[in-house]
């Protein structure tokens, strides 16, 4: 999720948000629902874009669960061509080279 400065200021200063702050203060994993709830249930009028700019390859684990696959050097071309600003998941113990490849392509 990418939030605009305008929305962040709304969250910090708008009285509309106080009831959500009180509710989420003592909930489990509040960060996974707070901002979405505020955006959709207050007077805030902003643009919502249904694209989190993340590149993730979800693979099955067990019967139903999914997990993000570790990217490796074989994925370099795919990642560099991606429109994502973020990617998940990297593990230096699996392949540290992919991080070097991506870093060398930063401008």
Note the pLDDT tens digit of each residue in 38-75. Answer: 999 999 988 888 888 899 999 998 877 889 999 999 99
CB 46 within 8 A of CB 28: no
Say how far apart CA 51 and CA 35 lie, in whole Å.
Answer: 15
Say how far apart CA 59 and CA 7 lie, in whole Å.
Answer: 34
According to the model, what pLDDT value does residue 65 have?
83
Average pLDDT over residues 16-24: 94
CB 49 within 8 A of CB 25: no
According to the model, what pLDDT value does residue 2 have?
77
Output the CA torsion 44→50→52→53 (10° steps): -120
């Amino acid at each position: 999720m990418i939030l605009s400065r305008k929305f962040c200021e709304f969250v910090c200063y708008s009285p509309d948000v106080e009831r959500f702050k009180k509710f989420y203060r003592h909930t489990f994993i509040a960060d996974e629902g707070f901002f979405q709830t505020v955006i959709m249930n207050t007077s805030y009028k902003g643009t919502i874009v249904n694209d989190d700019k993340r590149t993730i390859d979800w693979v099955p684990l067990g019967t139903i669960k999914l997990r993000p696959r570790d990217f490796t050097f074989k994925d370099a071309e795919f990642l560099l061509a991606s429109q994502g600003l973020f990617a998940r998941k990297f593990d230096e113990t699996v392949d540290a080279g992919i991080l070097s490849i991506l870093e060398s392509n930063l401008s």
